[in-house]
Structure 1
Amino acid sequence: AASACPLFAGWPGADAPKPRMRDPASVHSADGARVLWTIDNKRYDVTDYVDAHPGGRDAILAAQGRSATALFRSYHSLSDSAQAVLDRYYVEDAAPGDADYEDEWEWRSTPFHDALNRRVRAHFERKQARRERVRGGTVSTAHKAPAWKWAWLGAATVAWAASLAGFLAGSWAAMLAMPLLYWLGPSSLLHDGMHWSLSVSPRVNGALAALGGVHMEPTAWLHQHVIGHHSHTNVVERDPDLDHFTGSGGASVLQVGGGAADNAFYGFRCHAAEPWRPTFGAWKAWLPIMGLLTTVYPSMFESTEMLSRGSFLGRVPLVALSRSDVARLWLGRALVASVLWVAPFALHGLTLKALAFATLPLFIHGAVYYVFSQVSHIQPPCFEEPPEGERFEWAEMQVRHSLDWGNGGVVQTLASIGLNSQVVHHVYPQIDPTHYGELRPIFEQTCEEFGIPYHRQPSLWHALRSHVSLLQDMNRTDVWGASGDGAPAPQAAAAMA
C-alpha cells in the first residue's frame, strides 16, 4: 500500500503506524529482522537497556540500525563500565559486506586514543576530587558546564527572548541584535545539548537543545551533526557537512532535474574529490550567498527534505521516527516560519521593513554560523588520507581533519560557542567547551609524541584567510575545469604545487 503521506514514501516503515514514542523493539528491516546496534562490527540488542541508559533514550536510539562504533567510543571515552554493560547484550558478529560492517578506521589497536583517554580522565579526576572536597557529592560532573557557563547561557537566552519581543514590536535595534544573541544563547544550547555536554541529565540537555531549534530542527541536527559529521569528519560521501555548499547531497529545492547533483546550479567546491561543475567558476559570488543562507537553508529545507528522502542529504539514513518526532519537526518548522517570515508581513504589511525583518536575522545568523563552523574543517591540511593500505585511528582522523584557532581563552570560547577548539571537541564531544582550553596542552603533548599534526591558527582571522585560500584553489577554472572531470590539468597542478 502506498504511504498516506508522500513525504514518507520510500523510507523504511512508511506504511506502518508510527508509535507515539519510538519503540526500538518495533524497528525491523525489510526482511523482518530486528534492527540491532553495531559496535566494532559486533551486533548487540540493547532494547531492554534503552530506558536505563544514563545518557537518555535519544542518545542510545541514535545508534540503532547503523555502525555506531565512533559514537560509542567517543561518548564513553571517560567511562570504565560502558563496554562491560554492552557485552551483556551481544548477539552476533557482522560480516564483511553487510551494510553495518565498517573497516574504515583502526579500532583494534588505538594507542593514540588510549593515551589521550588516560590523560583526559586523569585531568577530570583531579578536578572532580577538588570539587568533592569543596562541595561534596559523588556524581562526576567535572567535565560538564560549570556554574558560570549556566549563568552566561541564561543571560544570553533571556536577552535573546527580550530581543525577540522587540523584533515583534518592530524595533530595528532588536531585530539586528536578535540573531547575535541567539547565536550566543540558544545556538549554544542546541549544539551542547545535543552533544549531552551541558548536564548529566539527558532531560535537561534535550529540553535546552529545543530552544536552539530555530537554526536546525533537533532530530535533523542529530542526524546531520552528531551522527554524520562527528563520526566521519571531512570524509567524502560520509560527512553531510561537505555537501551543504557543493550540492552533492543536495536538497532538491536548489537542484534541477530530479535532484541529480550534476544539475545543481549553485555552490562552490570545498575539496578535491568533488567533481568539477562550471558553476564553481563563480565561487566568489556563491560564497557570500551560501554563507548568508547557512541558517535558513538547513533549518527550513534540509530538515524537512530529510523526511521525504529517508536520510540527511543522502548521507545519514533515518532508521525510524515516531509520530511525536515527525509532529515535532513539522510544528517546529511551522512555528519558525510563522514568527520569522509571516509575522513581519502581518505586522508591517508589504513593505521594505517587513522584508528586512523577514530576511536580515537569518542572514546575520547564517554569516556568523558559516564563519565559525567552516573555518575549523574546510582547511588545506584537513583532508589528509592515510597511506595506501593503512588506516588511521578514528581519534587520529579527527585530529588530522580539524583545526583549532586562537588561544582557547574564555572570551573566544563563548563568542564561538566552543567552535574555536574543534580538535578537542571532535574527540571529546561530551565535554563542555569551557574545558577545552585546559585540554589543548594535553592534545599538543600527545600529538607530538605520536607524530600527529595538531592543526592550529593564531586567530580567527588567520583561520578565515586559510579557509578562503583553500576555496580559491579548489575553484580555479584554469586548474580544475581544464580537464572537466575534477582532476587538475597537469600543467596547472604543477604550478600550484
Structure 2
Amino acid sequence: MQAPKFAASRSFHQELKRRTNAYFAEAGKSTTGGKSLFFKAILLTSAFVAVYLHLVFWTPTAWVGILESALLGLIGAAIGFNVMHDGAHGSFSKKKWMNQFAAFTLNVMGGNSYMWNAKHNLIHHMYTNVEGVDDDLDAQPWLRLSPEQPRRLLHRFQHLYFWFFYALLFIAWIFFMDYQKYFKGKIGEMPIKKMSASDQGVFWGFKALHLGLFVALPIYTVGFVGWLVGFLAFAAVAGFTLSIVFQLAHTVEHTNFVVPNATTNKIEDEWAIHQIKTTANFATDNKVISWLVGGLNFQVEHHLFPNISHVHYPALNKIIRQVCEEFNITYNEYPKMRYAVASHVAHLRALGRR
C-alpha cells in the first residue's frame, strides 16, 4: 500500500513552530522531561517492582492479591503513559541511551519497542484517523471505529460491550499482535522496515524474559490458578486503561475520519491542520489526571509536537489555542474526562446504528 500525501505545508504549521520555539528560547527550558519526569519514573517503576515482588514472593490472600494485581495494572499503564511513551518519542531525556532505556520498559512488560515505534510513531502520528492506514482504527470485526468500515449487526450494541474488548487489549497485544506484525512484516497494510539482527534479538529475548517474569515464575510461586486470576486482573486493568485514554483522543464525536482522494491519494489538509481535526483533548485542568496519564489528555499538543515532553503541554496548550483562534481552526477539547467518555460512547453508538 502506498502512503497518502498531505497538502503542502502552509503558514499555520510554520506559525505554530515559530511561537513554540520562541517559548522555549524565552523560558530557557529544554524540550525534554527534566528532573521532575526522572523522579516520576523512579517513583512509578519502584512502585511497580514493589507490588510485583509482594504478589510473587509474599503471596497475599486471594482478595488482596486480586486488588494488588489490579493496582499493578494501573501502575503498569502509568509507566506506559509517562515513561515508555516519552522515551519512545525521544523526549524523556537529552541522552539517547536514557530514552532507549525508558522505551524498553515496554519490552519488559511484554510489548516490543520496535513494533511500537513503527505502529505509533511512524504510522499513527503521521496518518491519524486515516482509514486503511492508521492501524489504531482497526478493531474489526468486533468494533466499528470509523464511518468507512463495514457495519455488522453486532455493532449495534458496541457502545455496550466495548469495555470488554478494551480490557482484552493488553493480552492481545503481547501474545498475538506483536507476533502477527513480526511474521507478516506489515502493520495493517503498511510494510515496516526489516528488523536488524539486534532488533530480532531484542524482540525474542524480551518476549522470553516477559514469559519468565509474568508467567513461569508466578506459576511456580503461587500456582496456576492464583497466577491466572492475578494475571487476568492485571492485564484487564492495564488494557482498559490504555485503551480508553487513547480512544478518547481520536474516536469521539467531534474528530474527523479521513479518506485520501481515490485518484490522487492525497489528503486535502496540510499535516498540522489534519492533526487538529482528528484529535481531541480532555480534562486538561485536572492535574491528577494529567499526572497519571502522562499528559496524554493534551493529545493535540502531543500530536503536533511529539518530540516535546508531556511536562510542557500545559504551556503549549495556550500557544496552540491562540494560533488556532487566529487561523479560525476549531480546537477540540472536552473540559471533563466524563464528557469525553460520553462522547466516545455516543460515537460508538452512532456508528453501530448507521
TM-score normalised to structure 1 length: 0.65
Does residue 198 of structure 2 align to residue 324 of structure 1? yes
Does residue 238 of structure 2 align to residue 238 of structure 1? no
Does residue 348 of structure 2 align to residue 471 of structure 1? yes
Q: 1:372-411 counterparts in 2 under 5 A?
A: 372-383=245-256, 385=258, 391-408=268-285, 410-411=287-288
Q: Of 114, 118, 131, which aligns to 2:18? A: 118
CA separation in 2, counterparts of 1:386 and 1:346? 51
How much is the aligned-residue C-alpha RMSD, in angstroms?
A: 2.1
The verdict on how the C-alpha distance between 1:410 and 1:153 changes in structure 2, with shifts beyond 3 A counting, is farther
Q: 1:26-45 counterparts in 2 under 5 A?
A: none
Please tell me whether the aligned partners of residues 298 and 313 of structure 2 are also in contact (alpha carbons under 8 angstroms): yes
Residue 333 (structure 1) aligns with: 207
% identical aligned pairs:
24
The DSSP-based 3-state class of the residue aligned with 2:6 is coil
CA separation in 1, counterparts of 2:74 and 2:257? 34
Please tell me whether the aligned partners of residues 215 and 296 of structure 1 are also in contact (alpha carbons under 8 angstroms): no
The verdict on how the C-alpha distance between 1:313 and 1:340 changes in structure 2, with shifts beyond 3 A counting, is farther
Please tell me whether the aligned partners of residues 408 and 421 of structure 1 are also in contact (alpha carbons under 8 angstroms): no
CA separation in 1, counterparts of 2:340 and 2:78? 20
Please tell me whether the aligned partners of residues 189 and 212 of structure 1 are also in contact (alpha carbons under 8 angstroms): no
Deviations 1:312-347 (A, max 9, x none): 2333x1221112211211222222233223333322
The DSSP-based 3-state class of the residue aligned with 2:295 is coil
CA separation in 1, counterparts of 2:196 and 2:161? 37
Please tell me whether the aligned partners of residues 144 and 155 of structure 2 are also in contact (alpha carbons under 8 angstroms): yes
Larger Rg: 1
CA separation in 1, counterparts of 2:80 and 2:146? 31
Please tell me whether the aligned partners of residues 110 and 207 of structure 2 are also in contact (alpha carbons under 8 angstroms): no
The number of aligned residues is 343
Residue 293 (structure 2) aligns with: 416
Q: 1:39-118 counterparts in 2 under 5 A?
A: 104-107=5-8, 109-118=9-18
Please tell me whether the aligned partners of residues 153 and 184 of structure 1 are also in contact (alpha carbons under 8 angstroms): no
CA separation in 2, counterparts of 1:325 and 1:307? 11
The DSSP-based 3-state class of the residue aligned with 1:475 is helix
Residue 242 (structure 2) aligns with: 369
Residue 153 (structure 2) aligns with: 278
Does residue 86 of structure 2 align to residue 192 of structure 1? yes
Residue 255 (structure 1) aligns with: none
Deviations 1:325-374 (A, max 9, x none): 112112222222332233333223343x3321121101111111111111
CA separation in 2, counterparts of 1:336 and 1:390? 41
CA separation in 2, counterparts of 1:444 and 1:387? 27
Please tell me whether the aligned partners of residues 145 and 199 of structure 1 are also in contact (alpha carbons under 8 angstroms): yes
Please tell me whether the aligned partners of residues 178 and 361 of structure 1 are also in contact (alpha carbons under 8 angstroms): yes
CA separation in 1, counterparts of 2:110 and 2:278? 25
The verdict on how the C-alpha distance between 1:321 and 1:175 changes in structure 2, with shifts beyond 3 A counting, is same
Deviations 1:55-81 (A, max 9, x none): xxxxxxxxxxxxxxxxxxxxxxxxxxx
Residue 34 (structure 2) aligns with: 146
CA apart distance, 1:242? 0.4
Does residue 29 of structure 2 align to residue 160 of structure 1? no
The verdict on how the C-alpha distance between 1:320 and 1:386 changes in structure 2, with shifts beyond 3 A counting, is closer
User: In structure 2, what residue type is equivalent to 1:445?
Assistant: Q
Deviations 1:201-245 (A, max 9, x none): 2111001210122263101101111111101000101101001x2
Please tell me whether the aligned partners of residues 302 and 313 of structure 1 are also in contact (alpha carbons under 8 angstroms): no
The verdict on how the C-alpha distance between 1:188 and 1:362 changes in structure 2, with shifts beyond 3 A counting, is same
CA separation in 2, counterparts of 1:347 and 1:180? 23
More helix by share: 2
Q: 1:126-145 counterparts in 2 under 5 A?
A: 126-128=26-28, 142-145=30-33
User: In structure 2, what residue type is equivalent to 1:105?
Assistant: F
Q: Which runs of 5+ in 2 are unaligned?
A: none
| Structure with more contact order per residue of length (Cα contacts < 8 Å, sep ≥ 6) | 2
CA apart distance, 1:142? 1.6
Does residue 183 of structure 2 align to residue 308 of structure 1? yes
CA separation in 2, counterparts of 1:268 and 1:174? 30
Q: 1:198-217 counterparts in 2 under 5 A?
A: 198-213=92-107, 214=109, 216-217=111-112
CA separation in 1, counterparts of 2:267 and 2:244? 33
Range moving further from structure 2, 341-350 or 326-335: 341-350
Runs in 1 of length 4+ with deviation above 3 angstroms?
384-390
User: In structure 2, what residue type is equivalent to 1:473?
Assistant: A
The DSSP-based 3-state class of the residue aligned with 2:5 is coil
CA separation in 1, counterparts of 2:140 and 2:314? 33
Residue 137 (structure 1) aligns with: none
User: In structure 2, what residue type is equivalent to 1:212?
Assistant: L
The verdict on how the C-alpha distance between 1:390 and 1:204 changes in structure 2, with shifts beyond 3 A counting, is closer
The DSSP-based 3-state class of the residue aligned with 1:396 is helix
User: In structure 2, what residue type is equivalent to 1:363?
Assistant: A
The verdict on how the C-alpha distance between 1:308 and 1:384 changes in structure 2, with shifts beyond 3 A counting, is closer
Please tell me whether the aligned partners of residues 300 and 333 of structure 1 are also in contact (alpha carbons under 8 angstroms): no
Please tell me whether the aligned partners of residues 145 and 251 of structure 2 are also in contact (alpha carbons under 8 angstroms): yes
Residue 356 (structure 1) aligns with: 229
Please tell me whether the aligned partners of residues 284 and 290 of structure 2 are also in contact (alpha carbons under 8 angstroms): no
